[in-house]
Amino acid sequence: MRILFFGDVVGRSARDALVDEVPKLRRKLGIDVVVVNGENAAAGFGITQTICDEMFGAGVDAITLGNHAWDQREALVHIAREPRLIRPVNFPKGTPGRGASLLEIASGERILVINAMGRVFMDALDDPFHAVEREIEACPLGVAADAILVDFHGEATSEKMAMGHFCDGRVSFVVGTHSHVPTADAQILPGGTAYQTDAGMCGDYDSVIGMQKEEPVNRFLTKIASGRFQPALGPATLCGVFVETDRKTGLATRIEPLRLGGRLKSTMPE
């Protein structure tokens, strides 16, 4: 199975680039499934039903979230009826929606997409490791799922790496999101799980993690808010990760970063 994952989509320029490029990339790379982290898609804060529909219409198969999941209040309603929109699995009991979803793709194969959120320098949530363990045990790789992807939304690289090793040999791919900067550690772990600490964001990199520079710089200088954060609107770089799995085992045989457009140097899987 060929999986393409895109990191946090920040604002309109990133959405437009994603919608334009996903159909082309699916054809060019023979992609079976596309997963996108969409928690910053609505002007940098949350996601709406309209944005979800736009992404799904372009060929995105699942959208994961994170700490901005509920910034747009309509997401609380939409997520209850849209199984392809997935929030962190370790949110408290009773939170709307689901933290994992088993999706059947066009080939008839099934991929389990799990979204979890870290606790280091983040909100105090339930233990993400036990929450992910529960989902893996309920839908094992090679038995109930042909592939398993874990989007671990977290601040600390150490916590993300720990999740990768915790899942090694039991899932196809663990990828970090949230820090909005692509890391250079794409690898296949000893047990056969593909891993990258952070996929990076899809957005304008002439910015402070996707936001127009002036306000965040001013806050660092003065500790005073003088306005709202607004997404940068320049050309977006799409940052993602390409993973190919063994169709018999579900484990990874290949991982390569993908960067396209905007300010960062482009790189494309061969």
| 78 noted as active-site residue | no
Asked if residue 208 lies in contact with residue 216, where contact means CB atoms within 8 angstroms, the answer is yes
What's CA 24's distance to the chain center, in Å? Answer: 20
Contact partners, residue 241, CB within 8 Å, separation at least 6: 4, 5, 173, 175, 186, 194, 196, 199, 255, 256, 257, 258
Catalytic residue of the set 68, 78, 153, 180: 68
Q: Where are the alpha helices (DSSP H) in the chain?
A: 11-29, 49-58, 75-81, 128-138, 157-167, 214-222
Rounded distance between C-alpha atoms, residue 119 and residue 12, angstroms: 29
Rounded distance between C-alpha atoms, residue 217 and residue 164, angstroms: 33
| Active site residue ranges | 68
